Amino acid sequence: MKKEIHPRWYGNCKVYYNGEVVMTCGATVPELHVDVWSGSHPFFTGKSTFVDSAGRVEKFNRKFSGEYFKGGKK
């Protein structure tokens, strides 16, 4: 087996979520920064969170508010 072709292995890679270490694992990088992990995902926690970063709900409410649906079919 050639020694110079394999990436360096970090057996104690730290996984960060929201700035804190949540677990360690083996990887080819010394640390990983993740947005979602099993401790924060609704499937595993049973808690539902709604993230509306683009303001889509407010845009929908503005568009369809008022007399929009009262016109009916013509």
Q: Is residue 5 part of a domain?
A: no
Stretch 8-32: mean pLDDT: 93
Is 44 part of any domain?
A: yes
> Is pLDDT larger for residue 62 or for residue 23?
23
d(CA 32, CA 16): 6
What does pLDDT average to over the chain? 81
Examine the pLDDT at 10 and tell me if it is beyond 90: yes
pLDDT of res. 71: 67
**What is the domain range of residue 27?**
10-63
When divided into structural domains, the chain yields a total of: 1
pTM, entire model: 0.52
Q: State pLDDT tens for residues 60-72.
A: 888 888 776 776 6
Q: Which two tokens stand for residue 39?
A: 């401790």
Give domain status of residue 2, yes or no.
Answer: no
| Maximal C-alpha separation, the chain | 77
**Is residue 72 a part of any domain in this protein?**
no
